[in-house]
Amino acid sequence: KNPTSSYVNIANIKSGNLSFNIPNGYIEPFGYAQLPGGVHSKITLTILDDNGAEIIRDY
């Protein structure tokens, strides 16, 4: 868990055929989340910067 008070705006998360939209998606960086069913596949995050531009990251 990140000890700072910074937050990251995650617009949506995709893994396999699952997709989650996150309204007002600010989350703490380095927080933990568990996908249902023990999914172990690529995770794609759509992150919004301070100007609302999308940054796509695959993990």
What is the structure's pLDDT at 32?
Answer: 55
Asked whether residue 1 carries a pLDDT value surpassing 50, the answer given is no
**Domain residues of the chain, as ranges?**
8-58
Predicted model pTM: 0.41
What is the structure's pLDDT at 15?
Answer: 73
Residue 11: Cβ-neighbour burial (10 angstroms; 0-12, 13-18, 19+)? middle
Residues 2-41: tens digit of each pLDDT: 444 455 667 777 777 878 777 666 655 555 556 566 556 6
